Amino acid sequence: MNSRARKYTQFGTEGRPSLVLRVMLSIALVLSFLEYFLTLSPAIQLVPVAFVVGGAVVSLAKAKNEQTRRMFATLIAPAFVMLLLPAVSVVRGLLTGRVSEVEYGSLVIVTLISVRIILAVLPLPEVFRSYVTAAVISLVILVGTTFGAVVESALGQVRYAPYEFHPNLIAFLAVGFIPALWWRYRDLGTRRPLMLLFVGVCVVIIVVASSRGSAIALAAGVCYMGIMSAVWAVKHGRIRLTPGKFVVIGCVVAGAMSLLVVNSQIPQKLGTAFSDAFALDNEYRGLDTGLTGRVDVWARTLYLMNSNDLWLFGNGLRTSGEDADLPIDNGYLTLVYEAGILVAIAVTLRFVWLTFAVSRWYLRETDPRARRFYAAVLFTLIVFLTNNIVARFLFGIGNPFSILSLVLLVSVPSDFVKYRVSTDIPRPAVKRTQGLPARIA
């Protein structure tokens, strides 16, 4: 088997992906983004979930026998994630008579099972492609309708907060789009500059929204992937330091040092621009405000949990948002407060395990396309987990990035590997020898 043929059979999708299913997922993700454009009724807000459920129905209808068996077999693996948290919420809601908790818990169960069924038919890379499509559509609509506000925010007059978005939320979604957009930028041919343009739009949104949490999450993701890339290159012998490379590195370092010596105000100007963009010296948002008051809220949350014995089972899903005086703004603490310490640990460990597992697969992989996809998943996980230190979206279905995180949460190893690549790449010829199984020429 030649190397080109081998590459085509290691990674990708199993046959032609369902276009209908991908379109439905893209619509669901776009609608979850558009929810924040206007104050919508609860019935309208359920439309994205309805599309996800519809996608699951399409999956069941199109599934072959072997796919159906795998579909229900893989439901067992992440069962604790799919059932533990919402099931506890549903039971508690039934006992306390809190109808909203029963409804939301049931909605989460249906959504997670639907996502798991979809993943059994549609490989994870195709889900990311749907996510990229939704990201492009969402960004076009957002920037096209609020371009004036973007310019106004870029001039430093006000933080960018279009429609019903909070500045930190719009930045959270923008930074969540970047890993998938970067993956498509590296994986596409003639359309690469378009993806790079949208990556730049996301970075601009983070800056004009003045979201330090998203900026730090992006920096953490870039640093982590830089380290992983260096480790992979060393492991596979791809780094060769020749005399020419030493000369180039020396020239770059010498040029940078000379520039700083000639104009010593450059670091100061850069520091001032960064401080102004992210309000580091602001009276209400500066570095001495305890993460804009978050530390005080976190301490109050812990006090309430101790006082009301909420550590084991929590106070109920979405209850932290019902109290306007308790915007926890920490995904991990929010999950503890709403669902209890056991569920929070289970969900967090699931994300941590997935991060380590994909890191290991990335370091072992030699196929460029598979490695690029693993990099996108890792980038997404690091950005998501880091940002949730100051955000509150570790577990939810209310926006595209949270939905993608749930997809990863219920994924299993077979969702990442053991597929052929998409049909947009030529397939190698197949020879059949009498009495022997088919093999690749």
* Full domain range(s) for residue 263: 242-277
Residues 400, 413 within the same domain: yes
Q: Give the distance, in angstroms, between the CA of residue 438 and the centroid of all CA atoms in the same chain.
A: 39
Q: Are residues 314 and 267 in the same domain?
A: no
Residues 94 and 196 both lie in one domain: yes
Name every residue whose Cβ is closer than 8 Å to that of residue 335 and which is 6 or more positions away in sequence: 343, 344, 347, 348, 394, 395
- Both 236 and 246 in one domain: the answer is no
Q: Give the mean pLDDT per block of 10 residues along the chain (441 residues).
A: 36 53 86 79 66 73 64 58 70 76 80 79 86 95 91 82 88 95 79 85 92 91 93 80 67 69 58 54 49 71 76 74 66 86 87 93 88 94 94 86 90 65 39 42 33
Examine the fold and report which residue of 233, 253, 277 is the final residue of a domain before the chain moves on: 277
- Same domain flag for 127 and 167: yes
331 and 249 housed in the same domain: no
Question: pLDDT of 252-268, one tens digit each?
Answer: 777 766 665 666 555 55
How confident is the model at residue 281, as a pLDDT?
52
Q: Which of 225, 257, 277 is the last residue of a domain?
A: 277
pLDDT of residue 201: 94
pTM over 0.85: no
Query: Are residues 320 and 270 part of one domain?
Result: no
Same domain, 104 and 118: yes
Structural domain count, the chain: 2
Same domain, 250 and 323: no
Are 346 and 197 in the same domain?
yes
326 and 252 housed in the same domain: no
Residue 8's pLDDT is 31
- pLDDT computed for residue 420 by the predictor: 37
Question: What's the pLDDT score for residue 32?
Answer: 86
The verdict on 263 and 380 lying in the same domain is no
